[in-house]
Structure 1
Amino acid sequence: MTVVKKIFHAAHIYMILGVISGLYYREITKMNDFTGDTQLGVVHTHLLALGMLFFLIVLALEKVFTLSASKLFTWFFWVYNAGLALTVTMMTIHGTQTVLGATTNTAISLIAGLGHIVLTVGLILFFTTLGKQIPAKNSTGAQS
Structure 2
Amino acid sequence: MKKLYYAAHTYMIIGLVGGLYYREITKLNDFTGDSQLGLVHTHVLALGMLFFLVVLALEKLFTLTAGRLFNAFFWTYNAGLALTVAVMTVRGTQTVLGQHTPGAATALAGVGHITLTVGLIFFFVNLGRCLTKADTAASTPA
Q: TM-score by structure 2 length?
A: 0.94
Alignment RMSD, CA only?
1.2
Structure 1 equivalent of residue 42 of structure 2: 45
Name the % identity: 66
1:143 to 117, 139, 142: 139
Does residue 31 in structure 1 map to residue 10 in structure 2? Answer: no
Structure 1 equivalent of residue 69 of structure 2: 72
Q: Which runs of 4+ in 1 moved over 6 A?
A: none
Bigger share in helix: 2
Structure 1 equivalent of residue 97 of structure 2: 100
Displacement after TM superposition at 1:97 (Å)? 0.3
Task: Tell me which amino acid in the other structure corresponds to 1:124.
Answer: I
Displacement after TM superposition at 1:143 (Å)? 2.3
Q: TM-score by structure 1 length?
A: 0.93
The count of aligned residue pairs is 138
Question: Which runs of no fewer than 5 residues in structure 1 stay unpaired?
Answer: none
1:134 to 112, 131, 142: 131
Question: Which runs of no fewer than 5 residues in structure 2 stay unpaired?
Answer: none
Displacement after TM superposition at 1:135 (Å)? 3.3
Q: Distance in 1 between matches of 2:105 and 2:139?
A: 49
Q: Distance in 2 between matches of 1:112 and 1:52?
A: 20
Structure 2 equivalent of residue 20 of structure 1: 17
